[in-house]
Structure 1
């Protein structure tokens, strides 16, 4: 009986604690102030990365050209070409590098008979594939916002990392 009484008192004391602070879940509703802070952070990060990429381009022997979607490619007039439409099929592969030109993954990412409008890919890769010719290879310089963004790939690519992507249409 004494044990039951002791456990009851102990349980009541444990329940008397102040409730922990509640935080919204990931993906929860944010205030306008939080949204503004996030927007300004991304704007500043994008400006910084664009300048760093531009400085990197200056030190290269190959010319790179900006595209309308905010990445660079080594193909002049790239996004002025005819554009592949949704539902068309494409097979491709690409390799990822950091700006020290270190290959991130040993094996390339490859997709066969992917259908535009139905595959989930990096924004810059999907956009570039729409303008590429069969058998063509291009190099893309991609700011983090068009790569793996603020979360990374949860494996080898950290958050906010711009990438060099060597893309080939098979």
Structure 2
């Protein structure tokens, strides 16, 4: 009789519907899940901004905040002529972590890319809109504007702020 009670108890426990740990593919997040996600992103952004600002204080060059929430080492970048959608540009960049470790040995290079049709990180596109031929800048990018929560599934891990050395060709 005890075995039968234990068996039925285990059977009943196994039939209990468990709450999913994440929404199904194509599923909709609840308001509570959205609030949790927003708060996580907000807190991570505040933490990273503080860490980047502390990092900047220990550098030999100055970095200046841009409207999009990243930093650049050119104080006058936003004062230069802004390129419009339809203009084209060629550029390359290297990606580093905040220990100045190069994450990829070869640069990412794109030729004759048309503004308005970029498939690039938003801070890179934004900076390129103000840059002139042969100009080089260094960008400090929080993870939310980089590869975010998932990284690039290769050298860039999740929630990783980046340093980008960017040059117009």
Corresponding residue for residue 140 of structure 2: 141
Corresponding residue for residue 91 of structure 2: 92
Query: SS state of the match for residue 69, structure 1?
Result: coil
Q: Residues 20, 112 of structure 1: CA spacing in aligned structure 2 closer, same or farther, 3 A cutoff?
A: farther
TM-superposed CA distance for 1:25, in Å, is: 2.5
| Aligned pairs, number | 154
Q: Cα deviations across residues 105-143 of structure 1 (Å, max 9, x unaligned)?
A: 011000000111112001111111111111100000000
Corresponding residue for residue 39 of structure 2: 40
- In structure 2, distance between residues paired with 1:22 and 1:49: 32
Query: SS state of the match for residue 37, structure 2?
Result: helix
* TM-score between the two structures when normalised by the length of structure 2: 0.86
What is the root-mean-square deviation in Å for CA atoms of aligned residues?
1.6
TM-superposed CA distance for 1:79, in Å, is: 1.8
TM-superposed CA distance for 1:163, in Å, is: 0.3
- In structure 2, distance between residues paired with 1:56 and 1:144: 15
- In structure 2, distance between residues paired with 1:118 and 1:72: 23
Indicate yes or no: 2:158 matched with 1:151: no
TM-superposed CA distance for 1:27, in Å, is: 5.2
Whose radius of gyration is greater, 1 or 2? 1
**What are the equivalent positions in structure 2 for 1:53-72 lying under 5 Å apart?**
53-72=52-71
Query: SS state of the match for residue 95, structure 1?
Result: strand
Corresponding residue for residue 30 of structure 1: 29
Corresponding residue for residue 112 of structure 2: 113
Query: SS state of the match for residue 43, structure 1?
Result: helix
Q: Residues 19, 122 of structure 1: CA spacing in aligned structure 2 closer, same or farther, 3 A cutoff?
A: same
Gaps of 5+ in 2: 1-13
Q: Cα deviations across residues 37-64 of structure 1 (Å, max 9, x unaligned)?
A: 1111111100100000001000001011
- Higher deviation after alignment, 19-28 or 91-100: 19-28
